[in-house]
Amino acid sequence: LRVRVPAASSIQLALHTLDGRVVKSWPSRSLEAGEALISVDVTDIPSGTYLLRAQSDVVRAAFQVTVLH
């Protein structure tokens, strides 16, 4: 996942089903201002389509992702 943050902040990631149920969340990570590449482990998640939500003090975004095994 490639994200751009305008200022240094801590970001929280959570994977949701399309109906809004949280499937998995990851510990907050600190990011410096600028562009960052974030990897998340989804090996324990069933194949399917999900929403990956990223939230911090300065950024809030959701990305549709497809998990394939």
- Using alpha carbons, select from 3, 64, 15, 2 the residue that is nearest to residue 44: 15
Q: Which residue's entry shows tokens 């959570």?
A: 14
What's the pTM? 0.85
Instruction: Report the alpha-carbon distance of residue 3 to residue 44 in Å, rounded.
Output: 23
Name the DSSP class of 19.
Answer: T
pLDDT, tens only, 13-54: 999 999 999 999 999 999 999 998 988 999 999 999 999 999
Give CA–CA dist 15/24, Å, rounded: 5
